[in-house]
Amino acid sequence: MRNCCALEDQINSSYLNSMYEARVLLKRAKEAQNVLATFSQKKIDYIVESMANAGFKAAQRLAEMAVEETGFGKVADKITKNIIATRELHEYIKDMVTCGEIYRSKNGKFIKIATPMGIVVGLIPSTNPTSTLLYKALIAIKSRNALVVSPHPKAVKCICEAANIMQEAATKAGAPEHIIASLSRSTREGKRELIKHPLADVILATGNCSIVKEAHSSGKPAYGVGPGNVPVIIEKSANISKAVADIITGKTFDNGTICASEQSVICERQIHETVIDEFKQRNAYFVNQEEQRLLENYMFPQCCINSEIVGKSPQFIAKRAGFKIPEDTTVIIAILKGVGEKYPLSAEKLSPVLSFYIEDGIQGLRKRAFEVLQYGGLGHTMVIHSSNQEAILSILAQKPAFRILINTPSSFGAIGVTTMLAPAFTLATGTLGGSITTDNITPKHLLNIKRVVYETVPINDENGKRIR
């Protein structure tokens, strides 16, 4: 049954190209989804629980495969991501009503009926490959959709394996075959065929700007999530020890590969020396001017991020950049004076490297956070560490971010681990980031809702006489 990542042997090998594979997978998925759409809530819930259990059991193996294939991140943290994408996500969605009637007004004259969208086409990144596949598979099946994905070229094997695990678990629990599938090769032609094919109903794109832009340009409904350049404000009333610990915890999680990980620390001048000391006590390394220059040249050659540094350790990055840091270094920090192309380290870094700003008062904090969000993080996430509610409200006013996290690690808070946000690996950015929603994407976003309404304010009476 392990065939969701390749066509059957009898298909003539001369036709085994990505575009043909995409068409066949979509055709099979459509046939399977037509069957799945008839399933009851009870049957769907049983299938989803079986899938979540299978993904949870495979969390370590998939994490090891992802690190080996991509070279990004840490096995232990990818295990955690896989657990979040299965067990914790299932706990959140298990009681969610997604089949048939989902609402009826007290008078019975307004009814909502949930129907699946059809085939979800998923674009899967290399930074969180297996966790994103597991997550998308669960929310697709929970809403009675099929899922066909295009894997990132650096993560084809681990993504296909995760798809296999989800498909097998679903089938054993009673789902039709081919309800979850992945292209066996990653090509531009195959991806484009998937997202533009008439059988594709909605696109769930997680990745870089070009991938998200392509999804939104496909002519299909799409949820796209690109980069997040997350500013983290430390206001003078903050619990400094906890704030610094949270920042390091969030930034070092899987070596900074989550798009919601902290990128720039914006510290109020009144406390900056204490904050810097706290970072140093927690083994953060502050670069000097020459080391900063080396870091910028290595990490952002020609103003574009060097993919070699993604998800790598501070020691790896420093060595390749040309300077030495202690073996116990947790994060590398550069103190900057501006944001933009002249300051490459002010961009999203996808690694345990932070920029650091020292600003005067609430106005200074607000202004710098706004600049950071404008430079590659519109609509995504920002963090405020403060114990002053008035200051928090003043700082967050008119900020172009739709996840504003208070006193928590950004990586964990944005994906719903330490907050009440929905557990998710696709975090929409609203119209500011080119998305139609600001939510963490859940099964509810993959439903079409019928509204059945009875007349409540008649125009004519029973005899046809106009009364209004």
Does any domain span residue 363?
A: yes
Q: What are the tens digits of pLDDT across the range 143-178?
A: 999 999 999 999 999 999 999 999 999 999 999 999
Q: What does the pLDDT read at residue 11? A: 42
- 319 and 395 in a single domain? The answer is yes
Tell me the Cα Rg of the chain.
24
* pLDDT beyond 50 at 195: yes
Determine the average pLDDT of the residues in 388-400: 93
Does any domain span residue 422?
A: no
* pLDDT beyond 70 at 8: no
**259 among known catalytic residues:** yes
* pLDDT beyond 50 at 13: no
Q: Give the range among 15-19, 30-34, 62-66, 433-437 with minimum mean pLDDT.
A: 15-19
Which one is predicted more confidently, 6 or 207? 207
Determine the average pLDDT of the residues in 308-314: 96
Q: What's the chain's average pLDDT? A: 94
Does any domain span residue 89?
A: yes
The answer to whether the CB of 19 falls within 8 A of the CB of 189 is yes
State the Cα–Cα distance between residues 206 and 127, nearest whole angstrom. Answer: 10
Q: What does the pLDDT read at residue 23? A: 95
Q: What does the pLDDT read at residue 212? A: 73
The residue among 413, 429, 460 that closes a domain is 413
Residue 288, SS3 per DSSP: coil
State the Cα–Cα distance between residues 386 and 233, nearest whole angstrom. Answer: 8
- 243 and 179 in a single domain? The answer is no
Split at pLDDT 50, 70, 90, the class of 181 is very high
Q: What are the tens digits of pLDDT across the range 244-277?
A: 999 999 999 999 999 999 999 999 999 999 999 9
Does any domain span residue 461?
A: no
Determine the average pLDDT of the residues in 120-139: 97
> By residue range, what is the domain housing residue 387?
230-413
Number of domains in the chain: 2
Does any domain span residue 239?
A: yes
Q: 301: domain CATH number?
A: 3.40.309.10
- 201 and 253 in a single domain? The answer is no
* pLDDT beyond 50 at 10: no
State the Cα–Cα distance between residues 152 and 21, nearest whole angstrom. Answer: 16
Determine the average pLDDT of the residues in 391-399: 91
Residue 389, SS3 per DSSP: helix
- 408 and 447 in a single domain? The answer is no
Determine the average pLDDT of the residues in 352-373: 97
Q: What does the pLDDT read at residue 227? A: 76
- 307 and 182 in a single domain? The answer is no
Q: 93: domain CATH number?
A: 3.40.605.10
DSSP run (H or E) holding 123: strand 119-123
- 124 and 181 in a single domain? The answer is yes
Pairing verdict, β 447-453 and 110-116 = antiparallel
Q: What are the tens digits of pLDDT across the range 44-96?
A: 999 999 999 999 999 999 999 999 999 999 999 999 999 999 999 999 999 99
Does any domain span residue 351?
A: yes
- 216 and 282 in a single domain? The answer is no
Determine the average pLDDT of the residues in 424-437: 90
Please state the φ and ψ torsions of residue 463, each to the nearest 5 degrees: -95, 5
State the Cα–Cα distance between residues 462 and 460, nearest whole angstrom. Answer: 7
Does any domain span residue 428?
A: no
For the chain, the farthest-separated pair of C-alpha atoms sits apart, in whole angstroms, at 90
Determine what percent of the chain is predicted with pLDDT higher than 90.
86
The answer to whether the CB of 354 falls within 8 A of the CB of 334 is yes
* pLDDT beyond 50 at 348: yes
Q: What does the pLDDT read at residue 12? A: 41
Residue ranges in 89-176 assigned as alpha helix (H): 89-93, 129-142, 156-172
The answer to whether the CB of 341 falls within 8 A of the CB of 330 is no
The answer to whether the CB of 86 falls within 8 A of the CB of 49 is no
* pLDDT beyond 70 at 243: yes
Determine the average pLDDT of the residues in 102-128: 97
Cα-Cα end-to-end distance for the chain: 64
- DSSP assignments along 20-79, one per residue: HHHHHHHHHHHHHHHHHTT--HHHHHHHHHHHHHHHHHTHHHHHHHHHHHH--S-HHHHH
Q: Which one from 259, 267, 303, 304 is the annotated catalytic residue? A: 259
Q: What does the pLDDT read at residue 14? A: 33
* pLDDT beyond 80 at 207: no
- 273 and 399 in a single domain? The answer is yes
Split at pLDDT 50, 70, 90, the class of 4 is low
- DSSP assignments along 170-182, one per residue: HHHTTPPTTSEEE
Does any domain span residue 459?
A: no
- 151 and 242 in a single domain? The answer is no
- 22 and 129 in a single domain? The answer is yes
- Number of other CB atoms surrounding residue 273 within 10 Å: 11
* pLDDT beyond 80 at 2: no
Q: What does the pLDDT read at residue 293? A: 97
- 153 and 170 in a single domain? The answer is yes
- 189 and 331 in a single domain? The answer is no
* pLDDT beyond 60 at 411: yes
Q: What are the tens digits of pLDDT across the range 364-392?
A: 999 999 999 999 899 999 999 999 999 99
